[in-house]
């Protein structure tokens, strides 16, 4: 019998996948504006950086969801990889030759880790060895959020178990127990970058209702991918 946690949450607080994407993008932009344009150790800087800690956990969660729902997983991987390649120049302009690479490569490697898990999950330890190998590769390459990012994506996916269902009745207050498990097991990885941001990200992920939301057209989806390199390039011009 499926176990669920009973929590009463107003319908207006439930968030679709599209809402999560917008929140993550706004969080990311706020974080990067603070990091690259503002003086550190000021109240506004600290506030924006805290808000910025929401971005990656939500993106990691969305990658796990996107991989689960994607009809063409290779295409999904290639889109992320292409976004990473396009973003590498503005990343270099902002960070210099520090040996790091942008977060799109981390998300791409996360998709590879999920593909390995799907192919090898019946072989038990081998699948986790494969995921660990990809995490080590992310660390070795110096991708943003490195091994923690890959593991976060993997944990979100592994604990997913089954597709999260939207609430079928407007009066329903049932939250899938898997959402709680996902948050519990990814929280230590999130908290490495700040407790407050991890709590905010956890709350947002918990409110996900399992629906796609208002972003449906291909042009809108690709525009969201373009925001990452475009905003990095703009920051490089003003920093």
pLDDT at 12: 62
- Find the mean pLDDT for residues 44-70: 96
Query: Taking residues 86-108, what's their average pLDDT?
Result: 96
Torsions phi, psi for 109 (to 5 deg):
-65, -35
pLDDT tens digits for range 186-213 = 999 999 999 999 999 999 999 998 899 9
Residue % of the chain over a pLDDT of 90:
75
Domain ranges in the chain? 12-235
Confidence of residue 180 (pLDDT cuts 50, 70, 90): confident
Predicted model pTM: 0.89
User: Mean per-residue pLDDT for 207-233?
Assistant: 92
Among 10-19, 39-48, 109-118, the least confident range: 10-19
């Amino acid at each position: 019998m499926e176990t669920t946690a009973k929590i009463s949450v107003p319908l207006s607080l439930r968030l679709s996948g599209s809402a999560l994407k917008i929140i993550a993008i706004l969080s990311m932009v706020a974080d990067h504006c603070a990091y690259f344009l503002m003086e550190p150790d000021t109240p506004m800087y600290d506030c924006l950086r805290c808000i910025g800690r929401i971005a990656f956990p939500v993106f990691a969660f969305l990658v796990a969801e996107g991989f689960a729902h994607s009809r063409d997983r290779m295409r999904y991987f290639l889109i992320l990889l292409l976004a990473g390649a396009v973003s590498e120049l503005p990343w270099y302009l902002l960070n210099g030759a520090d040996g790091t690479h942008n977060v799109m490569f981390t998300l791409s490697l996360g998709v590879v880790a999920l593909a390995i898990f799907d192919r090898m999950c019946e072989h038990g330890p081998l699948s986790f060895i494969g995921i660990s190998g990809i995490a080590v590769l992310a660390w070795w390459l110096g991708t943003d959020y490195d091994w923690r990012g890959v593991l976060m994506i993997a944990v979100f996916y592994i604990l997913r178990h089954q597709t999260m269902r939207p609430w079928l009745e407007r009066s329903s207050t049932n939250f899938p127990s898997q959402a709680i498990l996902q948050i519990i097991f990814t929280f230590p990885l999130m908290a490495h970058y700040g407790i407050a941001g991890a709590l905010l990200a956890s709350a947002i992920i918990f409110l996900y209702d399992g629906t796609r939301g208002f972003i449906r057209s291909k042009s809108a989806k690709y525009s969201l991918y373009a925001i990452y390199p475009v905003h990095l390039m703009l920051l490089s011009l003003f920093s």
